[in-house]
Structures are given as C-alpha cells and as structure tokens.
Amino acid sequence: MKTVLITGAGIGIGRSTAIAFSKKGYNVIVTDILKDEGEAVVSEINEDGGAAKFYYLDVTSTENANNVIASVEKEFGAIHTIVCNAGIAHKVPLDQLTDEKWDYLFDIDLKGMFKVIRPALGSMKSANTGSIICLSSCMGVMYGWDEHVHYSSAKAGVVGLVRGLANELARDGIKVNGVAPGYIRTAQLLSEEHSLGKEGADKAGSFIPMGRIGEPDDIADVIVFLASHEARYLTGQVISVDGGLGVGRY
C-alpha cells in the first residue's frame, strides 16, 4: 500500500485530497495544525474502510517536520507521495506589510514545503519512486493579487521550487509537479477579511467560463492523477485547474 502525506489536510482542498487518495487505496497521513479537523478526516476515512492516521504538523517547524517524517517512515516505510497543501492567504496592504508578516506567510506557503519534502527524500530516493505535488495558485502563475503581494510572490515561488526539484529528482524516479487552483470554495476563499468572501465567491461564478467556482474535489482529483502511474512522464509542471478562468475574457 502506497503512503501519501498531505499537509493542511483537516479542511478544504487538503481534506478532499486525503479522501480522494483513500478511495484509490492509499494509506493516508493527514497532517495539520487543526487537530480536531484532522482527526475527523481520519475517522471518516477509517470508518469508510480506508487507512489513515493523523499527525500534528506545523510546516514552519523543521523539528516537527523531521519528527513526523521519521515516525511515518518507521511505521509505514518510505512515503510515496507528498502533497504540500498547507497555506494561508492574508490580505495586507503594502504599507502594513512588515518583515514579520512577509516572513510568516513565506514560512508557511513556500519554505514550509521544502521543510516537509527535505526529510522524506532519502527514503524516497532509495525506493526510486515517488511524487511530490505543491499547491500554487492562479495568483502565482497568472494574476497579481493586490494587497496580497507576499501571497502572489510565494505562490510564484512554488513554480520555481517545482521546476528545480523536478530536475534534481527526475533520475531518482521522483516526479515533482504543482497545481494552481482558480477560485475554490473553501474557508480560505470564503474569508471576508482576507479573500472574496461569500458574496464575492458567488459573483465569481458568473465570469468563470465554466459558470461556477471550483469545489475542493475538483482540485483533489487532479492531484491524485499527478501522483498516479497515468502521469508517469509528467514532471516539472504547474497545472492550472480553474474552470477556464485564466483563458476567459471578462
């Protein structure tokens, strides 16, 4: 049984991704800073006949990341797939964007990916197989997002991380790809303080070519595909999954 580890998997896209991998027969390691939500995802999977386990993992902590990866490897062997999903999208106008706020977002949205991937690479290389999938954003690959400059920058940085790592790990049998979601109905998007809010999310459907904003499952299924054998020759790419948002005229 292949093991997948997902960060920020208690809610939103991460939660749906955990459930989608379980349906494909993976052993699912659900990690998050949201303990109750993460445990609930694990219960849901296990009650449905799948295999899942929760670990508290704050992706800003090198020690936490190293310990979780070591524990998972001890119990289950090499991790096959890592989904670097944890992220925040804080709205901060530039005149209020302190060094601390910039660094905090980068520590989660970009550096946090590297911290989780790094300790897993030894055993993934030995297994000579594996897949890493990192969450970017339409705001990192297509659009600029006002009052979210640090977010746009970090998500653009994910593209560089994916390309560099894909090259470095290709001969070790490890694929590295990204997904850049458009507008997806999650707590992040529905935040009135930091993002579109409910009304904005409802309006967005009208200018997206497919006529609706995305659901977490729309992203999860593409992530599962990227990890699969069907995507065996696909590496170094960041795939936009946005209902046509990026190619639409409005």
> What residues are annotated to the active site?
151
Q: How far is CA 103 from CA 72, 149, 150, 237, in A?
A: 29, 12, 9, 26
Closer CB to ligand NAP, 26 or 55, in the complex: 55
Q: By CB under 6 A, what part of segment 89-148 binds ligand NAP? A: 89, 108, 135, 137
Is 218 a binding residue for ligand NAP by CB under 6 A? The answer is no
Least distance to ligand NAP from the beta carbon of 168, Å? 22
Residue numbers 51-80 binding ligand NAP by CB under 6 A: 57-60
Question: Angle between the 149-169 and 111-127 helix axes, to the nearest 10 degrees?
Answer: 10
Q: Which of 34, 40, 92, 97 contacts ligand NAP by CB under 6 A? A: 34
Residue from the set 5, 83, 87, 231 that interacts with ligand NAP by CB under 6 A = 87
Say how many residues touch ligand NAP, by CB under 6 A.
Answer: 29
Residue 183 engages ligand NAP in binding (rule: CB under 6 A): yes
Which tokens sit at 6?
């997902």
Q: Closest approach of Cβ 236 to ligand NAP, in Å?
A: 19
**CA–CA dist 172, 79 (Å, integer):** 14
DSSP codes joined into one string, 80-129: -EEEE---------GGG--HHHHHHHHHHHTHHHHHHHHHHHHHHHHHT-
Span from 26-34, 116-124, 165-173, 220-228 in contact with ligand NAP (CB under 6 A): 26-34
The Cα 34–Cα 11 span in angstroms is: 8
Biggest distance spanned by C-alpha atoms of the chain: 52
Q: Is 153 near ligand NAP (CB under 6 A)?
A: no
- The nearest distance, CB 140 to ligand NAP, in angstroms, is 8
Distance from C-alpha of 24 to C-alpha of 50, rounded to nearest angstrom = 9
Binding-site ranges for ligand NAP (CB under 6 A): 7-8, 10-14, 32-34, 57-60, 85-89, 108, 135, 137, 181, 183-184, 186-189
